[in-house]
Amino acid sequence: MGERTLAIIKPDAVKKRVIGDIIQRYEAAGLNPVAARMVHMSKAVAEEFYAVHRDRPFFGSLIAHMCSGPTVILVLEGNDAVKVNRELMGATDPLKAEPGTIRALHGASIEANAVHGSDCHETATVEIAYFFPDMV
Ligand code: CMP
């Protein structure tokens, strides 16, 4: 069992054909996928998901990027899943991410940074409910 977190493989990573590589890294780190959907987000869906960032200067381009192609959305389960996933992803800016992390390996910019992961347990619960309403 363990904790659950939400991960999104972003449109830039799907276009780079690294879905399999990223999922393999989740599994190798002990994060077991327990739900998955491929979603090409509408503007309304992306805006609601990222509502906490609504007033940030990068909001418009963040939404445009997230709607630019299909994403893969997963619920990952394991011990300390939120923290383990954040370590596996690396810093938001791929240039600042630790070598070997998903964003360092596959991210191109702070926006095209390959993956999203919930930032804490409470956020994970809300984010999972948003894309997987049947799981709560
Ligand atoms: P993510 O973890 O999906 O959460 C919000 C996203 O906004 C973040 O990853 C980045 O891809 C994107 N973003 C774009 N510009 C910035 C910025 N200056 N600071 C933080 N996040 C940014």
Q: What is the pLDDT of residues 40-99, one digit of tens each?
A: 999 999 999 999 999 999 999 999 999 999 999 999 999 999 999 999 999 999 999 999
How far apart are the CA of 120 and the centre of ligand 1, in A? 16
Token pair recorded at residue 98: 């630790």
List residues with catalytic annotation: 116
Of 85, 92, 74, 84, the C-alpha closest to 9 is 74
State yes or no: pLDDT of 1 exceeds 80.
Answer: no
Helix spans in 10-120 (H): 11-15, 19-28, 43-49, 59-66, 81-89, 102-106
Q: What is the mean pLDDT of residues 7-28?
A: 98
Of the pLDDT bands very low, low, confident and very high (cuts 50, 70, 90), residue 136 is confident
How far apart are the CA of 95 and the centre of ligand 1, in A? 13
* Strand, coil or helix: 40: coil
Block residue for tokens 């011990």 = 79
